[in-house]
Amino acid sequence: MIGIAVLGATGSIGASTLEVIKRHGARFRPVALTANRHVERLFEQCIEFRPEYAVMKDEDSAQQLRDRLIQVGVEVEVLSGVDGLKRVAVLPQVDYVMAAIVGAAGLEPALAAAGAGKRVLLANKEALVMSGRIFMDTIRESGAELLPVDSEHNAIYQCMPLDAGEGLAGTGVSRILLTASGGPFRTTPLEEFGDITPEQACSHPNWVMGRKISVDSATMMNKGLEVIEACWLFDAEPEQIQVVLHPQSVIHSMVQYTDGSVLAQLGNPDMRTPIAHALAWPERIDSGVQPLDLFAVARLDFEAPDFSRFPCLRLAYEAIQAGGTCPAILNAANEIAVQAFLERRLGFSAIPEIIEATLGQVSSSPAESLAMVLRDDAAAREQAMQLIKRKEGQSRA
């Protein structure tokens, strides 16, 4: 039986992973489940799946979970913090690690899993956005397997030739076509962007996602981070990756070949499909997703993205072109700006303004070590917070 650690078990990806695992209980076993501070939800998952370990973000939440589990007589070793996450990611009884913790918090445990030679099912974009070269070098040196779980990257992976791990050169691939729905504001008049609320930004037309990634989809920063991730995953140059708006979210991405062929992966917008693919690769297993009905879809539309409408996408392309820790700075500033927007301290249109200002004021470094990446990440977060406070002060004046 294959042992699995689900990092970020209470989020949408983690919950979908456990649904797929449940369908194949004779094949997969959850060894460890982790959460941020969702004690009640992780408690329920521990009752249902009986993992050996559970990890909470902080010790207070961990103690609450321990107390709840003791009350019902369920034996689970409860850990806390980054050390706890890294510990369960390298357990000898863990074969696969689902890296689904949102944001920079998922970097260190994902990197630990890679260093331990696990099969890493990567749903956390930030691991590659922040430390792409370090992460990919670790995968190669340890002999770990890296399977992308993002629906777009998983689609690209499925359309790539088997020898694509050494880069696009020599594989016959000319371009990666990275699809994007365009989010909820693809056709919203620009003059209305200043009035967009968190509730509106979190109402994705096709996907059910967490609040942070929903806002990223609305600004298209999510797609920008995916461009950066794709560069590292497939050893591609930024100019080899074209973003294509596809409102139906049925084609999850495409790969164009030098002979004129374009291969596409299609399916209903449900994360259980790429999760099942990554869990069972190179086999195929039932994901629980309904088959795609092309007659119900009826049409497939495509548009070019407008960088003036979605400046976050432009900033992401500029960050990967600049290299070094610039993508980490971009990601850090975005996390701070999105959180401020969700807290109603910052307007929707100001999110890219804060990111661009932070990129202009925090110097990037060569991303030669995790310490350098984390240092510039921290500097960017501090700078973004200061810029937001300044903007708040100006709006009150």
- In the block, tokens 């190669």 appear at 140
Distance CA 1, CA 370 (A): 34
Closest CA to 337 of 219, 170, 224: 219
Please, what is the Cα angle at 319 between 140 and 162, to 5 degrees?
Answer: 35
For the chain, count helices (H), then strands (E): 16, 11
Specify whether the CB–CB gap between 225 and 351 falls below 8 A: no
Distance CA 170, CA 390 (A): 51
Distance CA 101, CA 8 (A): 5
CATH (residue range 2-148):
3.40.50.720
Distance CA 10, CA 33 (A): 9
Q: What is the DSSP letter of 192?
A: G
Domain parsing of the chain, residue ranges: 2-148, 150-313, 323-397
Other beta carbons less than 10 A from residue 310's beta carbon: 25
Q: How many CA atoms lie within 13 A of 323 on its CB side?
A: 6
The string of DSSP codes covering 328-341 is HHHHHHHHHHHHHH
Within 8 A by CB and 6+ apart from 174, the residues are: 168, 240, 256, 257, 258
Q: What is the pLDDT of residues 99-144, one digit of tens each?
A: 999 878 899 999 999 999 999 999 988 889 999 999 999 999 999 9
Q: 323-397 is classed in which CATH architecture?
A: Orthogonal Bundle (1.10)
pLDDT value for 163 = 61
Other beta carbons less than 10 A from residue 266's beta carbon: 14
- Report residue 102 CA to chain centroid gap: 6
Question: Dihedrals φ, ψ of 118, to 5°?
Answer: -80, 165
Rg (CA), the chain: 21
2-148 shares its CATH topology with 323-397: no
Beta bridge partners of 121: 98, 147
- In the block, tokens 């009986």 appear at 50
Collapsed DSSP state (helix, strand, coil) of residue 146:
strand
pLDDT value for 125 = 85
Q: What is the DSSP letter of 81?
A: H
pTM: 0.91
Distance CA 180, CA 169 (A): 25
Question: Dihedrals φ, ψ of 231, to 5°?
Answer: -55, -45
- In the block, tokens 């069972």 appear at 280
Q: What is the pLDDT of residues 231-242, one digit of tens each?
A: 999 999 999 999
Within 8 A by CB and 6+ apart from 126, the residues are: 103, 104, 106, 107, 225, 331
Written as tens digits, the pLDDT of the chain (397 aa) is: 999 999 999 999 999 999 999 999 999 999 999 999 999 999 999 999 999 999 999 999 999 999 999 999 999 999 999 999 999 999 999 999 999 998 788 999 999 999 999 999 999 888 899 999 999 999 999 999 999 999 999 999 999 987 655 667 778 899 999 999 998 899 899 999 989 999 999 887 666 667 888 899 999 999 999 999 999 999 999 999 999 999 999 999 999 999 999 999 999 999 999 999 999 999 999 999 999 999 999 999 999 999 999 999 999 999 999 999 999 999 999 999 999 999 999 999 999 999 999 999 999 999 999 999 999 999 999 999 999 999 887 766 5
Distance CA 385, CA 9 (A): 29
- In the block, tokens 């010790």 appear at 59
Tokens describing residue 93: 């009884």
249 phi-psi bin (left φ>0, alpha ψ -120 to 50, beta other) = left
pLDDT value for 104 = 80
Q: Is 81 exposed, middle or buried (0-12, 13-18, 19+ CB in 10 A)?
A: middle
